[in-house]
Amino acid sequence: MLKILVAFKSEAIPLIAHFGLSRNDCVDRYPLYASEYVKLIICGIGSKNALRATTILSEYGRDSDRWLNFGVAGSGGYVIGDFVVGGRVLDFITGDQWSLASCEDADLQVGEICCVNEVQKTYRGDTVYDMESAGFLRGLDVIGATQKGICLKLISDGPTNADILTLKSIKQLMHNRTSELTQILYKLFPAS
């Protein structure tokens, strides 16, 4: 089974359509969508929400499960609309770090993700900034599945437009990049 964690419904919409998911229920306030082979949860913003939602998804678990944290992120080194897979994730608050399994076969850009607790105004090189990856990976640590996790980020903002990022702009970016996202999902999870 593929387990997917996203922060916003606008990030979930193309995934719900791609995998043919149906609204299952709300579990501990988190909307859950599912099919026979995929479960997707919308956790809201932040590492703590991501940890709780990942824990909920793990309760539907099997050892063969694969995991995806997908969502928008900021960066000063990538172009808005780029997809980046996290090769290394750093929790800015605790200093915890994770090195993730390679996705070389998918022919995607691989970068460093720094998980922060607020929108950044200063960007360091090619680092990608998000707010959920550390909670997601911390949840996978608990069940020994970190190496089955992939953090895929869609660059939504940078130094010149971080202040104007809105749910509407995220929805438009997702709409514009849905076709490429679908192709990436086939590469990352060919049997899903």
What does the alpha-carbon distance between residue 188 and residue 134 come to, in Å, rounded to a whole number? 21
Query: Which CATH number characterizes residue 22's domain?
Result: 3.40.50.1580
Phi-psi region of 70 (alpha: psi -120 to 50; beta: other; left: phi over 0): beta
pLDDT grade for 166, boundaries at 50, 70 and 90 = confident
Distance set, CA 162 to CA 118, 137, 146 (Å) = 11, 25, 30
Task: Return mean pLDDT, the chain.
Answer: 90
Q: For the chain, what is the domain count? A: 1
Provide mean pLDDT across the span 168-181: 90
Say what the pTM is: 0.93
Close Cβ partners of 153 (under 8 Å, ≥ 6 residues apart): 70, 71, 72, 73, 83, 84, 85, 86, 113, 128, 130
Average pLDDT over residues 81-99: 95
Pairing relationship of beta strands 83-91 and 22-27 according to DSSP bridges: unpaired
Question: Using one digit for the tens of pLDDT, what is the confidence trace for 146-163?
Answer: 999 999 999 998 877 766
pLDDT at position 192 is: 58
pLDDT value at 19 more than 70: yes
- Average confidence (pLDDT) over 15-26: 90
Give the model's pLDDT for residue 84. Answer: 95
Confidence check: pLDDT of 2 > 90: yes
Q: What is the pLDDT of residue 105?
A: 65
Instruction: Give residue 24's domain range.
Output: 2-188
